[in-house]
Amino acid sequence: MNPSVIPITDFQLALSVILVILTGAVSAALRLGLLRSLLWGTVRTFGQLTLIGYVLNYVFALNNLLVLGLLLLLMCYIAARTAVRRVTNVPPGTTLLAFGSLFASTFLVGVLVTQLIIVPEPWYSARIVIPIFGLILGNSMNGIALAIDRMYAETRARRGEVEALLAFGATPWEAVRDCVREAVRAGMTPTINSLMVVGLVSLPGMMTGQILGGVDPQEAVRYQIVVMLMIAAAVAIGCLILVGMSYRRMFTADGALNLEVYRSRGV
């Protein structure tokens, strides 16, 4: 164990629940209706992170390429399903499209980062690959959720404009091009905001964790720069792929708006 790491005992970990109690008290006092969700989220956080700690110990020790690939696919599926469940009024099958976009963006950016920049030994080192891919997936999931939600919301809000453009002979792409731009912009905005203020307003989690773990701050900064840039690239690619695959589903085969899509609440 790194002697510079300050361990957290079980008792000290239990004391962190005080933070949740304070938050719950605010929710109860203001009658926000969030107390049950907050408590359930806390229980899930303890359970899920404790479990993944044991799983990662096993996976890191095994360091098997097949196990690593299956785990990454499972992570992609969970991220895709979670992203789509956050969005209302999406047509059935959107989860599959979200999975495809997350898979493509995560593996493209993840492979570039791990094989050209970090270069672990062996090249499929689970200790390096899983955290990197997890960071990409977590941020891309939020980005594509915002993008797909904004695309359907913008198209519904501009329905009259879209139908007028179609009536004048515009293609489906030409009719919703502005909506698609707004969707991609919405998906990328949180990431761009983070790029603007990182180091000035916030010290990101990975950098903070490395510093607390005893890593030299300059080295932690280098890793954080790579992380921020890879997240920006992955979010942009994921949003573009998902929106690009999804916009055609808003139209029928003859190019008219598919009203059934807007009434659907499937995933």
Domain count, the chain: 2
Residue 220 in this model has a pLDDT that exceeds 60:
yes
| pLDDT tens by residue, 43-72 | 999 998 899 889 889 999 999 999 999 999
* Crossing angle for the helix pair 126-157 and 94-112, to the nearest 10 degrees: 140
Give bridge partners of residue 251 from the DSSP assignment: 257
- Together in a domain, 76 and 58: no
Q: pLDDT exceeding 90 applies to what percent of the chain?
A: 33
Q: Of 62, 91, 106, which closes a domain?
A: 62
> Are 16 and 143 contained in the same domain?
no
Asked which of 42, 62, 82 is the last residue of a domain, the reply is: 62
58 and 68 co-located in one domain: no
Q: What is the pLDDT of residue 262?
A: 57
| 30 and 76 within one domain | no
Kindly state whether residues 214 and 140 are assigned to the same domain: yes
Residue 26 shares a structural domain with residue 40: yes
Q: Are 126 and 221 in contact (CB under 8 A)?
A: no
Q: Classify the phi-psi angles of 89: left when phi > 0, otherwise alpha if psi is within -120 to 50, otherwise beta.
A: left
| Residue 159: strand, helix, or coil | helix
State the sign of the Cα–Cα–Cα–Cα dihedral 76, 77, 79, 83.
positive
What single letter denotes the amino acid at residue 230?
M
Q: Indicate whether 173 and 145 sit together in one domain.
A: yes
Same-domain pairing of 208 and 125: yes
pLDDT at 217: 82
CB-CB contact of 91 with 262 (8 Å) = no
On whether both 68 and 176 belong to a single domain, the answer is yes
Mean pLDDT for the chain overall: 86
User: What is the Cα–Cα distance from 234 to 139, expressed in whole angstroms?
Assistant: 8
Place of tokens 């993840």: 110
d(CA 35, CA 21): 10
Tokens matching residue 231: 């997240």
Q: Token pair of 36, please? A: 């049950």
pLDDT at 221: 86
68-77, 79-88, 234-243: least confident range: 79-88
68 and 56 housed in the same domain: no
Q: Residues 6 or more apart from 172 whose CB is under 8 A from it?
A: 166, 247, 248, 250, 251, 255
For tokens 């179609």, name the residue: 166
Q: Which of 41, 62, 83 is the last residue of a domain?
A: 62
Read off the pLDDT of residues 123-145 as tens digits, 9 standing for 90 and up: 889 999 999 999 899 889 999 99
Cβ contacts of 70 within 8 Å, gap of 6 or more: none
Note down the domain range covering 50.
1-62
* Cα angle, residue 226 at apex, residues 8 and 234 outer, rounded to 5°: 105
Verify that 54 and 159 share a domain, yes or no.
Answer: no
167-187: pLDDT as tens digits: 888 888 888 899 999 999 999
Which tokens is 216 given?
Answer: 């030299």
Q: Band of the pLDDT at 266, cuts 50, 70, 90? A: very low
111 and 230 in a common domain = yes
pLDDT of 74 above 60: yes
